[in-house]
């Protein structure tokens, strides 16, 4: 439907802000593109950086995403 991607994007951004405030792993890390790399889109990493949870200078996006997924899986297993 028209505008549905924008709505989902806003919802994911909202959850990222809430998760960052509550010091929880990003549930939005589960929303990945269908491409070969299976990573979230650029906006995810841009917002993660703005929330001080993006890739560190010595870390790439793949490593950052993998770490966030590990944190999320550990939190969900509790």
The rounded distance, in Å, linking the Cα atoms of 32 and 16 is 14
Task: List C-alpha distances in Å: 59 to 9, 39, 54, 65, 67.
Answer: 25, 15, 9, 10, 10
Angle subtended at Cα 51 by Cα 39 and Cα 33, rounded to the nearest 5 degrees: 15
Q: Per-residue pLDDT for 23 more than 90? A: yes
- How far apart CA 15 and CA 26 sit, in angstroms, is 7
> Can you read off the two tokens belonging to residue 5?
């991607």
User: Using alpha carbons only, how large is the chain's radius of gyration in Å?
Assistant: 12
- pTM to 2 decimal places: 0.90
In the predicted model, what is the mean pLDDT of residues 21-43? 94
Q: Indicate if the pLDDT at residue 15 is higher than 90.
A: yes
């Amino acid at each position: 439907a028209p505008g549905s991607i924008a709505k989902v994007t806003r919802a994911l951004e909202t959850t990222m802000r809430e998760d960052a405030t509550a010091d929880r792993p990003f549930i939005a890390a589960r929303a990945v593109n269908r491409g070969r790399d299976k990573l979230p889109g650029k906006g995810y990493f841009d917002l993660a950086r703005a929330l001080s949870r993006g890739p560190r200078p010595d870390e790439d996006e793949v490593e950052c995403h993998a770490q966030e997924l590990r944190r999320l899986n550990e939190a969900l297993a509790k």
